Amino acid sequence: QSALTQPASVSGSPGQSIAISCTGTSSDVGGYNYVSWYQQHPGKAPKLMIYEVTNRPSGVSNRFSGSKSGNTASLTISGLQAEDEADYYCSSYRSTSTFAGVVFGGGTELTVL
């Protein structure tokens, strides 16, 4: 299955806001509100940051927010902090005539300048 499309890298200065896009199709991102976002620091397991497009799990900072328009979902991080530097992955449920399951984006490396 083809992956969702994310930019390879984004950067921002402390205190700034950045957005990471995640583009799919009507069979995944555009067809369901089942988009999630994960943060992964080097050598660590992924951590769920956003689920169901806009929802934050308990304990995740409200500096992290999610949205979706058509086939593209976005993760916005406001008030950038040094500890936000990590890889970020989107995922979505996908359903086609030949596949049902989860697909991930290729990942975006966030650098805090």
Partner 1 sequence: EVRLVESGGGLVQPGGSLRLSCAASGFGFSHYSMNWVRQAPGKGLEWLSYFVNSGTTIYYADSVKGRFTISRDNAKNSLYLQMNNLRAEDTAVYYCARDGGRAWESDYWGQGTLVTVSS
Among 47, 61, 67, 85, binds partner 1 (CB under 8 A): 47
| Neighbouring C-alpha atoms within 13 Å toward the C-beta of 54 | 4
One of 33, 67, 72, 78 touching partner 1 (CB under 8 A) = 33
99 makes contact with partner 1 (CB under 8 A): yes
Residue labelled with tokens 């979706």: 68
The residues facing 65 across adjacent strands are 76
Question: Is 21 near partner 1 (CB under 8 A)?
Answer: no
The Cα 73–Cα 103 span in angstroms is 14
Identify which of residues 14 and 52 has a Cβ nearer to partner 1 in the complex.
52
Kindly state whether residue 9 participates in binding partner 1, applying the rule CB under 8 A.
no
103 touches partner 1 by CB under 8 A:
yes
Token pair 């799919």 is found at: 24
Decide if residue 2 touches partner 1 (CB under 8 A): no
| DSSP string for 44-94 | S--EEEEBTTTBPPTTS-TTEEEEEETTEEEEEE-S--GGG-EEEEEEEEE
* Shortest distance (Å) from residue 80 CB to partner 1: 22
Binding residues (CB under 8 A) for partner 1: these are 1, 3, 33-36, 38, 40, 45-48, 51-53, 55, 57, 87, 89, 91-93, 99-107
